[in-house]
Structure 1
Amino acid sequence: MDGILKFVKDNRLNSIILFAVYFVINLLFLTKYGIRQSFIPLSILVAVFAVGNAVMFFLGKWSGFKKIVSAKLVYILIGCIAVAYIAMCHVMKDPYKMNIDRWQTLEFSLEYWIKGKYIYDTPNFMGNLSSYLPGQLLISSIFYFLGNVGYLQVGAFLLFSYTICLEFKSNFIRFIAVLMLGVSLAYIYDVVCKSDFIASFIAVAAFMLLWHSRFKHDYFQKPLLLGVSIGILCLTRSVVIIPLIIFLLRPFLLTRWEKRIKFGISFLLTVGILLATVFLPAKSLDHLLHYNPLTLQGQSNKYVMLFFIVLAIISSLYAKRIEMVFYFSAYITFLVMVSFVTEKYLILGFSFQSNFFSTTYLAACLPFCIIGYCYTKRKESDAIDQPQ
């Protein structure tokens, strides 16, 4: 473990690896969809993409750029990207003609959930079943009532930008973080397809930053509110338990018993109520066991998942600073998804055109990766500013 800690504490190495993970995730999206068009050769797309990312990575070396980045420029960037995202939410004029079903699955799942119908046994127009957990439905319902579930990604982007501006005082770091998410091909894909996937992990990462900012000396100052919040977040995507364990386990073990009990009660009540809203409409117990989100969601082998949960527990005990929480969260979440993708390839085969879809799951670590990268930039800046 000492070797792992030494690696995690190596700021320069973390900076390179976190950006490399960000680069690889988006490169896979470019490769996946670039091969489906014939207007621009894929080699040219990859070359332009690589140069653009190299420029973004080395922007911090240009002191002149840091000087011209102001708070106003950051807010203009946020506004421009938000407007572009809103426009992208309306790109699909006839989505039924596209081989994409995420938007419709979320829409009918929300409609069924709001009306008290069972959602996990109804196929969408492509024949796939819904696997949405109630926490994600609760968050997404806000944008459903606004008239477009795609606005969820716009809201998630604005939430991410707000938490970044709250946590980091350097306008350069704010600019880089917003730019990295804003031009991310993985996130743009989610915006166009009205998918909630990355938004779930943005919600968790943003909560971690907000809660740390407000209660950095004691995360359990408001155990009832924390229990409700974690209960909702845990029921967005099953994999979010990895960063939440890393974030909260150590503070949980250090806090007083009465706070643990209050947290536990509010957490269990929240989870129980939310699960009841989706499970009670089931026709029978057998029907529930056959059609439920944990069965339908793409899950890694249970022993592999157990290994990563144990790894998250161990990491939490050593993650004494918030930046280490995000480093561990980025790496372990990425490795969880790599194991899932590898498992799918072993089962379905390595046909590039047919099975390259599963690499989209790697984007789960994107919010933690970007925030972790921002912490490395802040450390670099602090080291430069310190008197010699």
Structure 2
Amino acid sequence: MNLLSMGLTEIIKKDFDQLNLGEDLIIGRVALEHKRIYRVWTEFGELLCEVSGKFSFHSKAREDFPAVGDWIGLKPRAEEGKGTIITVLPRKSKFSRKSAGATAEEQIVAANVDTVFLVNSLNEDLNLRRLERYLLLTWESGANPVIVLSKADLCHNITEKITKVEAIALGGVPIIPISSETLAGFEKLELFLKPGKTIALLGSSGVGKSTLTNRLLGAEKQLVQEIREADDKGRHTTTHRELILLPNGCVLIDTPGMRELQLWESSDGLSETFSEIEELAGNCRFRDCLHMDEPGCAVVNAINEGQLAAGRLTSYTKLQKELAFIERKADKRAQAEVRKQWKTINKQIKQRKSR
């Protein structure tokens, strides 16, 4: 396998060499993960890998383990088609969300991504508030967002919907309407599908990610299910995250549709996604303005004058509160981990004294 065409760069090789882990280790890229078993692309082909015992012992949280798209250092057993993962190399980007459930824990959806295709359907399932969340997390990830509006052939008011998307896609985010049936718009996607680049497809179930993957791959790799006529919603197709190598050497990461997209430490992404509100806030009379009923609020004035949609401020305020809640919860989790570590240390000290 040619790892250079799969995104291996001089920076990654330098990071690997600086670790000085031994001559028997090689570089690989995680193509698929299932219950801590990893399918890894290497110079020997695909190897089935697990993390070493030492790696597992020193990994304190879920995000410490390899994720799809990660570059890793591993000890191969090529004759067995297996290997042992020793370390994860530094990530240049990572798309993360809060894991499902009550705990404040990071779940890395995809790592080392150059561009994120945020796939949204132009049928009745188009949700601007959900798109705002995807944009926020993409900016925070370090990758560049591209909004891909699928099923353009099924939309009769396409100009109206694109105008609504443009109102929230600030900062020059490309918006590309496409049809996987007629292949309209695909020539604009090719600007991003370059050899050695990694593209992640993100979006809800049924928006057309798997069909898009099949068209780009030129083969029916991903199973596709029809839209439910009763509610115009698509059905869940992809069940796991996986690297897919396109014929030209570009790497695609198809992901399952996300029913729940909770934020994870996205304060910088919030500023990028709602840049117009933060710019207006700089003109408010009070520095700690909440943009509610304070006198001299530039944000409220902009809404009253029709320069800003009220829904944008509602989303901004809601996401601010959500991020603050996650931050408080994460701090409590970190404090609990420290207390747990000290209890273990004190227990070990007492055991030594008793000998």
With structure 1 as the length reference, what TM-score do the two structures score? 0.26
More helix by share: 1
More strand by share: 2
With structure 2 as the length reference, what TM-score do the two structures score? 0.28
Q: Which has the higher contact order (CA 8 A, sep 6+)?
A: 1
